[in-house]
A = this chain, B = another copy of it.
Amino acid sequence: MSDGEAKVISTEPLLESEAVWTKLVKDPKGVKRTWESAERRTRPKDSEIDGVGIVAILEKETGPEIVLQKQYRPPLDKIVIELPAGLVDEGETAEQAAVRELKEETGYVAEVLETSPIMFNDPGFCNTNLRMVHVSVDMGLPENQDLKPELEENEFIEVFLVRLDSLWEECKKLEAEGYAIDARIANLAEGIELAKKFKL
């Protein structure tokens, strides 16, 4: 993948979109107000979430490392530093989606450790949400030594590892290099720094 080649050519307003709604709302005082709200149109009917984010930690002798990705994102027209992530398919659990997406996007075969509550990306603007699935990657498995991602034709993903204890510094460095930073990674990194600072 050659960074920087991808770009937005043109942008047109979407007419009669079903992705943005005007909601008529009764507020806590009983006053009626209107509110604009966006949503993804891809959530399966039987699913309470749009997708999953995957926290995949490799426990190395030199310390734990987290699996990250570089991916071009049209809404930003930039390459974004993200956790492995993906939308859930019809009938799929968060855990199944996480194991499948991690394998497809990075090649790593993983076991699920824990699944988070549902979390909302930007609740004042849209209803998009996800669960974070924490997985362990057994580096003793041969599949995890010789990675074979199975990217779709329209996916362009570069996988890399960052030491968990320097994630915050790495976020700043990557931003300075011109990458956009996904909020999930930055907030995880901030949580790690808070725990260090207050010796939690």
Tell me the A residues contacting B by CB distance below 8 Å: 1-2, 5-33, 35-41, 55, 57, 63-64, 72-76, 80, 82, 85, 116-130, 132, 134, 154, 156, 164-165, 171-172, 175, 180-196, 198, 200
The 9 closest A-B pairs by CB, nearest first: A191-B191, A187-B187, A195-B195, A37-B75, A35-B74, A119-B183, A117-B175, A188-B191, A119-B186
Question: What distance in Å separates the Cβ of A118 from its nearest Cβ neighbour in chain B?
Answer: 7
Does B28 lie within 8 Å of A156, measured CB to CB?
Answer: yes
Does A36 lie within 8 Å of B23, measured CB to CB?
Answer: no
Bound complex: CA of A23 vs CA of B11, how far in Å?
A: 4
Does A194 lie within 8 Å of B55, measured CB to CB?
Answer: yes
Task: Decide if the interface of chain A is mainly helix, strand, loop or mixed.
Answer: mixed
Does A126 lie within 8 Å of B127, measured CB to CB?
Answer: no
| Across-interface contacts of A132 in B (CB, < 8 A) | 186-187, 190
Q: Which residue of B lies closest to A19 (CB)?
A: B20
Q: How many copies does the complex hold?
A: 2
Bound complex: CA of A117 vs CA of B186, how far in Å?
A: 8
Does B190 lie within 8 Å of A116, measured CB to CB?
Answer: yes
Question: What distance in Å separates the Cβ of A121 from its nearest Cβ neighbour in chain B?
Answer: 4
Q: Which residue of B lies closest to A51 (CB)?
A: B124
| Across-interface contacts of A19 in B (CB, < 8 A) | 20, 36, 38
